[in-house]
Amino acid sequence: MNYKLPLIICFFWMLNANAQSITAEPASFYGLGEKSTKGHAVFDALGKNAINVLDSGILNHNNPASYNRLSKGSTLYTLGLHSRQSWYQSGGIKQFNATPMVEEFTLGFKISKQMGLSFGLRPYSSRGYQITETIFTGLDSLRYNYTGKGAIQDLYVGYSFGIIEKPKTKFAIGANVSYLFGTLINERSSTLLTGASTTGGIERNSLIVRSNSIDLGTYFTQALGKKHSITLSAVYQPQMLMKADLLKELYSTATINVPSSYDTIDYVSQQFRATAAQSWQAGFAYSWKLPSYKRQTRELHPLLQLYGSYASYGDLSQNENLITGFDQSLHSKISFGVQFQPEYKVLENLATLKAFEKLSYRAGYYQQTLPYLSNGQQYQERAITLGFGLPLLAQVSLSSLNVGFTLGQRQIPNTDWSENFIGARVSFIMAPSNFEKWFRKRQLD
């Protein structure tokens, strides 16, 4: 079967698709909205560790240096699906929101022994909220409606180069170059509720982003004997100038729900500039090949891996005071994760393994501050994570299905506001086997 055509069609369909909201977070009103973790089910299950997860069967675009770790002759495609269910509470008011979304499509392959390449489309940030308030003025009632929607997408290409490629020591560097595009909209409307009348006004601010960014990555891996190895990873994003057009619209109408009835009061388009301060991440990974053991007629080779990372994300500020409440604060995240594989030589021992011996089992924990402020208090988030990876072994390839669950809570210190959430992410890694026709190398005699 030829995989090229449907995958290419899928990629360009996603590239041309309208931006959709993948969040129901009220605080996405601020700045560029809820910034994506550029997630993968493997990373989610490992406590949001990402830059330090290096595996030949996982395309890790969070650390561009990792591309040269991909298996030779195997092209990896990743398709991600994400869903989040949130329960909000403030005082006696409760609300539920759910947000399913197709999130990313990426491709990566090894160019040579030392070089790797990746490109694709991934989410950068999103906006999605709706708040309604009704006030009785004494004679009439006014309804205020605040809504936000839209997303920024990240179209990227990445390259890595292995400076040291020895059996026990590996050191590589890499870079992702991105083009950010999309539209974020904040809208508020007021409606006079008097019988059948719906007279009102609408103010809409649209931020149309067209900008570039870059992030740099590296890793160093050292084997410690035959059973142990340790990896140190880091990613750095320099200060970024965000470019956009700001469209401000103001309308009055006698019928709020009929756009053709709007009368334009103001319509202004102007250039917008914001500065994102530098960000960095650092992490480690420790691998231990546990003693092999026999079960009935087979021998298992278990593997235990530990992960830890810390991230510091720079603040975001507009260069001119054009948008109310735009700026976002410096924030950070700390993550821990563990993975256990009953058999890490899955392909070699496929015929003898039981179903549960083929799986990878993952768990983790993370806590972070968020860039949003409420009355001078910064949002806090913490969560536990679980997941597993299932090799898809219909053919001899690196294809797999990975699932990650997140059970967490957001709070604002010294307030009664909270958000309890459950996140689920499914990632498909597709790797056509080496004997597929479009991988064959032909030579003329």
Q: What local confidence, expressed as pLDDT, does residue 129 receive?
A: 83
**CATH number for position 197:** 2.40.160
The pTM of the full predicted model, rounded to 2 decimals, is 0.85
Residue 445 in domain: no
Total domain count, the chain: 1
Residue 125 in domain: yes
Transcribe 108-140 into DSSP letters: EEE-SSSEEEEEEEEEEEE--EEEEEEEE-SSS
Q: What local confidence, expressed as pLDDT, does residue 15 receive?
A: 41
Residue 222 in domain: yes
At position 77, the amino acid (one-letter code) is Y
Residue 87 in domain: yes
Residue 106 in domain: yes
Q: What local confidence, expressed as pLDDT, does residue 346 receive?
A: 80
Radius of gyration (C-alpha) of the chain in whole angstroms = 25
Residue 444 in domain: no
Q: Judge contact between 57 and 429, C-beta under 8 A.
A: yes
Residue 122 in domain: yes
Give 256-280 pLDDT, tens digit per residue: 777 777 888 989 999 999 999 999 9
Chain centre to alpha carbon of residue 422: 16
Residue 114 in domain: yes
Q: How many residues does the chain have?
A: 445
- Give the span between the Cα atoms of 231 and 305, in whole angstroms: 11
Higher pLDDT, 389 or 324: 389
Residue 190 lies in domain: 4-439
Give 293-307 pLDDT, tens digit per residue: 887 777 888 999 999
